[in-house]
Amino acid sequence: MAKRQAVEALDRTMEDITGIKQPFGGEIMVLGGDFRQVLPVIKKGTCGQIVDSSLRMSPLWSMSKKMRLTVNMRALTDPWFLDFLLRIGDGEEEAIDEFFICIPGDMTIPYTNPDQAKKDLINEIFPSMELNGFSSDYIISRAILSTKNENVDEIYDELIDKFPGDEQVDYSFDEAEDDTYNHYPIEFLNSRNVSGLPPHCLRLKVGCPVILLRNIDPSNGLCNGTRLICKSFQRNVIDAEIAVGEHVGKRVFLPRIPLCPSENDMFPFKLKRKQFPIRLSFAMTINKAQGQTIPNVGIYLPESVFSHGQLYVALSRGISREKTKVLVRPVKDFNRSGVYTANVVYREV
């Protein structure tokens, strides 16, 4: 997801420091990661603008298939599933109507009607939640992914209602910092659901999983994307336990802090929201799930993916074909059996 301009700036800086007119000043640079994942986010960007901001990794693409399999092994244990993911990531999976691919039948949840299909997916990924909800291992080993925040919010509402225990509701304090004439009432600001910010109304229960939205204390494991389990609630802090990574098991206090959206959100005012910097992580957007490994993963696609690598990222969060379930709302009739969904891969990268 790194923009190429950042790497180019490093290249020029290294040349200036060393005085050697070679790439990166003659120093050896190693770029690591999975090069099939989503590209840099350009708000309202065209395909050309997104491709232009992306790194071109042509030497890596020329690696042998065997080497690329090694690069992408991660926690995957199923050779067929791994090969299926690589074909999707490379845009080589057989497609009809240009970019619609077939999801294997044993990985899909039948789409009957919207409400019932969604409940079937939830029950498949979170079976017997009333009995298992207080088990940290159960909660942190499963999640549902979707393309947009509004789809994720639908899953939140269903699951927080099913989760055992008493509910704690925390409301944010919102203001428009540069609104001298009070054009934007508090009720309007409260209604804004902004990507990257917690909701105005944060519904939590003891034992529920959350994901951090900001870097608070990286040296102690509190980074953007860290998943935690709520342990108790105080007036202005949440007592939580880190559930993944090298700091797993560490107890931390999460404060209520002022947060602002990025300038790319293009509001005609500067929104400032004081809230706990977390969201529930029963479900999350596909982009937010990058880098996570989730043993039991559900993928909720009420509409097709819309950016390069999204389908690959969603499917590759799981570890096997048996524990990955996909719910697709049909958008086209192809007059053939099977569940089809879009796979967006920009050939230019």
Q: What is the mean pLDDT of residues 280-295?
A: 90
Q: pLDDT tier at 66 (50, 70, 90 boundaries)? A: very low
215 in Cβ contact with 222 (< 8 Å): yes
Q: Spell out the domain ranges in the chain.
A: 4-68, 69-163+282-349
Q: pLDDT tier at 263 (50, 70, 90 boundaries)? A: low
144 in Cβ contact with 300 (< 8 Å): yes
286 in Cβ contact with 147 (< 8 Å): yes
Which class is domain 69-163+282-349? alpha beta
Q: Report the chain's mean pLDDT, rounded to a whole number.
A: 87
133: helix, coil or strand?
Answer: coil
Q: Is the dihedral of CA 180, 182, 183, 185 positive or negative?
A: positive
Q: pLDDT tier at 60 (50, 70, 90 boundaries)? A: very low
Residues 6 or more apart whose Cβ sits within 8 Å of residue 11: 23, 24
Q: pLDDT tier at 133 (50, 70, 90 boundaries)? A: confident
Q: Is the dihedral of CA 293, 295, 126, 337 positive or negative?
A: positive
Backbone angles phi, psi at 123, to 5 degrees: -65, -30
Bigger pLDDT: 188 vs 179: 188
Residues 6 or more apart whose Cβ sits within 8 Å of residue 179: 269
* The pLDDT value given to residue 76: 62
291 in Cβ contact with 318 (< 8 Å): no
Q: Is the pLDDT of residue 67 over 90?
A: no
Bigger pLDDT: 237 vs 47: 237
Q: How far apart are CA 219 and CA 239, in angstroms?
A: 18
Q: Is the pLDDT of residue 54 over 50?
A: yes
Q: How far apart are CA 323 and CA 296, in angstroms?
A: 5
One-letter amino acid of 335:
N
Q: Is the pLDDT of residue 295 over 80?
A: yes
Residues 6 or more apart whose Cβ sits within 8 Å of residue 189: 174, 175, 176, 271, 273
Q: What is the mean pLDDT of residues 270-290?
A: 92
140: helix, coil or strand?
Answer: helix
pTM score of the predicted model:
0.86
Q: How far apart are CA 335 and CA 344, in angstroms?
A: 22
Backbone angles phi, psi at 135, to 5 degrees: -90, 115
* The pLDDT value given to residue 72: 44
Please report which helix (H) or strand (E) contains residue 253, including its range: strand 251-255
Residue 280 has a CB neighbour count (10 Å cut-off) of 25
Residue 278: C-alpha distances to residues 72, 172, 230, 237, 259 (Å): 30, 12, 11, 12, 11
Q: 2-33 pLDDT, tens per residue? A: 888 999 999 999 999 999 999 999 999 887 77
Q: Which of 62-66, 85-89, 99-103, 296-300 has the lowest mean pLDDT?
A: 62-66
Residues 6 or more apart whose Cβ sits within 8 Å of residue 98: none
Q: pLDDT tier at 57 (50, 70, 90 boundaries)? A: low
Q: Is the pLDDT of residue 152 over 70?
A: yes
Residues 6 or more apart whose Cβ sits within 8 Å of residue 65: 86
Q: Which two tokens stand for residue 215?
A: 């870097």
Q: 80-126 pLDDT, tens per residue? A: 888 899 899 989 999 988 889 999 999 999 998 888 999 999 999 99
139 in Cβ contact with 208 (< 8 Å): yes
